[in-house]
Structure formats: structure tokens, C-alpha cells
Amino acid sequence: MSKIIKCSDLKLKIYIEDTDFQGVVYHSNYLKYFERARSEFLSTNNVSQTKLRKLNLAFVIKKINLEYTAAAELGDNLIIKSSVEKGSDARMIFYQKIVDENNKEYVSGRIDVCLIDLMTKKPQRFSDDLLLIFK
């Protein structure tokens, strides 16, 4: 088993556009929040998704497993907590959860992310720089 790396927390506030007519966060928005946190991890580690796309490479979701435990509401301040481990030279496994300042959990999940060649749709090995993060 490879080492699990703690990522920086991402904080956000729930606004009206995040919610349904009852003021409850719409379930798919949690996926967006997780995506933002994963993108921040890449950016923090100098992995440019724009540069990758110019090389016909992109990160894609291979598998998602989510568990919803509570509903966030309009005005809530949330924290997206993430950690990541190397699944292979072309796959990362993110363990993510969304909590509030009191550590009340709203949703948790495991998200497998792969790097693929956009032309062939085949997995591609991570750059050496990215692989060094997991050493």
C-alpha cells in the first residue's frame, strides 16, 4: 500500500445557487466541491490541467463511491477534506469528505482518478514530478 498524502483543506460557503427550492444543497453539487478540492491539489503540486490538455492528456473519473449522511443548507460554511494515494502510475485514489467547522460530516467518498490520452482513451503514466509526490 502506498503512502496517503493529506491535501490542503478547501473552505466554501453555501450560496443560493448551490441549493434547491428548500435551501438544501443539491446532491450533485457535492461532486463539484470534491472536484474543486482535487483541482486545488493538482494546482498546488504544479500540475497544469491546461498544459495537459494541450498534450491531449486529461484526468478522468474511473470510479466514485459516495455516502451522504447529512444535508448542508444555505449559509453553511463547509470544509472539503481530502487525502490521496497512488493507485498505480496512472491512477490516484482520493478520499474526500465534507464537514462543517464542528466536524459534522455531510458526505464522504472515494474517487478514483486516471490520466488518459484523449485521442486513444488509454491510461497514461503520470509525469515524474507527480509520481515523486507519492515517494
Active site residues: 20
Please, are residues 96 and 61 in contact by the beta-carbon 8 Å criterion? no
What values do phi and psi take at 89, rounded to 5? Answer: -70, -5
- Torsion of Cα atoms, 5 then 124 then 34 then 96, to 10°: -40
Residues 6 or more apart in contact with residue 22 via CB below 8 angstroms: none
Is-contact 15 90, C-beta < 8 A? no
